[in-house]
Structure 1
Amino acid sequence: MTHGECLFKKAPGHRKEGSLTRVRYASRFQAIQELQEEQGFPVQALCRIAGVSRAAYYKWRKRTPTAEEKHNEALMVLVREVQTRVRGIYGYRRMAQHLTRELGQPVNRKRLYRLMKIYDLQAVIRRKKKRSPAASPQHVEANKLNRNFQASQPNEKWLTDITEFVDATGRKAFLSTVFDLYDKSIVHYEISPLNNNQLVFQTMEQALRACPGAQPMIHSDRGFQYTSRGFKAIVEAHGLDHSMSRVSRCLDNGPMEGFFGTLKCEEYYLPYSFYATYEDLVKAIRRYIRFYNHQRYQEHLNGLTPIEYRNQAA
């Protein structure tokens, strides 16, 4: 019998549900054992936190692992090794395909799906968004900008939008920005784990505070934040002229989309870029925007950075 056959053939006395239950609690018991041995935490407290009884834990310590438990443990060792190599981008389908090629033996997708779910191993790549009914906009404006992306002075025309990023744990970070068409600078940005009205309102208010007296045309898409009464109130309170992209016309906000593409190509999608936590991801975004505004020379700005070009106008 080959190594692959040993790992993936069903063990005698196979009981799917009972085995998975044992695996699920085994991960808790394993954590309790490691914390008790390495950190000296009391078993009783650890069991209470993990939601298991001390009797069950000590029974597990004395157990003789079944053949199927050994198969599952060996399989998950391989899965973790592969996930580390590919930086977490494999889901259970691609993982099964990869292991099948690597081991020369078919790996059961359903089995792999159940085990990866129990051990909380998920792909970090973007998933298809669930479609939901579009909300009725509270306020809509015409496309007054009309793709005229030229500006003769700072704070004449601003663009705004939101994009999202995901860290290695699957936690999202939403970046809301205000972009000046004159010097291609990021006037202000905010990052939040929530994509809500408050994120957009705070971005806009802080951008206006950073540029006292500015009354630019502000162009956005028709996202729910920008069509809300709250955003309209900010626009009216500061005497701004609001312009909106047409439905499904992302090119109406082209330079803003272009900046997001540049950020992701030059930072987020780099082969060596890996963001283990939300905080790591936020730091990387902030670092890149500082670099973009102050150090990234642009040919169409006469070889200056956005901030140098802006200061030159001032």
Structure 2
Amino acid sequence: MARKFYGYVRIAKRIRKLLKCRLSDRTIWKVMRELGIQSTMYRKRSKKPTTTTDMPQKPNLMRHLADLSEVVTTDITYIQLINQKWVYLATAYDPKARKVLAWQVGQQMTQDLAVAPIQALIHQGYTFKMVHSDMGSQYTSRLFETTLTDAHLRHSYSRKGKPADNGRIEAYHSLLKREWVRLDQINYESILDVTESIARYNTFYNHDRETNGRGACKRKSAAA
């Protein structure tokens, strides 16, 4: 995948994995600097739609959990087409494994879009006991709450004005924007273009993307 969003730490980790050799992050940084190679990620600020809710704060059940293995987090983010119109991405995310579980792109930010990834997991027989979301109107809607109740799922909510409560899926959406959408956005003429682009990124994110973890591999012995 010919993208330029890997910095020296993740490139070093990938090289150590492929070559199974001891190689420091600093060595890779020096080589990249000599060759004029650097990561390219875009931060773009644009006015985006917002939603509000007057509903009283509901409990954050996930906040003090030590084990997130049966929790699914969910959120909606915004993606702009080249004609300045917006489309919306709803994601269901595994906060422990840090993987995208299900997602849906829609033309409107509705309760149907919000519930779509959760319904997909329910229909697939995915095992989980709790869904964590923010307090947006889509997630406090009757449809969303009824869907969880019917599936015997508990609902945990981020505190208003505290996006860090849903930090792992927020981080995923941030990476998606910086690593991918900002580079691919010139091709977004329709919702289909966005859907195909997100599908490619999520396959990469779940299966091939290196984290920022450090550590050198041990050199193989001569007898190996």
Whether the TM-score (by the shorter chain) exceeds 0.5 is yes
- The equivalent residue for 1:169 is 83
- Counterpart pick for 1:204 among 95, 107, 118: 118
Q: Is 2:58 the partner of 1:146?
A: no
How many residue pairs were aligned?
170
Matched, 1:227 2:140: yes
Aligned pairs for 1:1-314 within 5 A: 126-127=46-47, 129=49, 134-137=52-55, 141-146=58-63, 148=65, 150-151=67-68, 153=69, 156-210=70-124, 212=125, 214-270=127-183, 273-278=185-190, 279-298=192-211
Secondary structure of 1:274 counterpart: helix
Deviations 1:14-66 (A, max 9, x none): xxxxxxxxxxxxxxxxxxxxxxxxxxxxxxxxxxxxxxxxxxxxxxxxxxxxx
For 1:125 and 1:145, the matched residues in 2 are separated by 30
From the two aligned structures, give the one with the greater strand fraction: 2
* Alignment check: 8 A CA contact 1:218 1:243 kept: yes
Q: Which runs of 4+ in 1 moved over 4 A?
A: 147-150
- SS at 2:89's partner residue? strand
In structure 2, the CA distance between the partners of 1:273 and 1:136, relative to structure 1 (3 Å rule), is closer
For residue 219 of structure 1, give the secondary structure of its aligned residue in structure 2: strand
Contact 1:188 / 1:206 at 8 angstroms: preserved in 2? Answer: yes
2:106, 2:113 within 8 Å by CA — same for their partners in 1? yes
Q: CA deviation at 1:148?
A: 4.5
Q: Which has the larger radius of gyration?
A: 1
Amino acid at match of 1:235: L
Unaligned runs of 5+ in 2: 1-43, 216-224
Query: Is contact 2:73-2:132 (8 Å) kept?
Result: yes
Deviations 1:117-150 (A, max 9, x none): xxxxxxx973365x78x4443x863011116475
Relative to structure 1, the CA distance from residue 128 to residue 232 in structure 2 (aligned partners, 3 Å threshold; closer, same or farther) is closer
Judging by fraction of residues, say which structure has more helix.
Answer: 1
- In structure 2, relative to structure 1, the CA distance for the partners of 1:233 and 1:243 (3 Å cut) is same
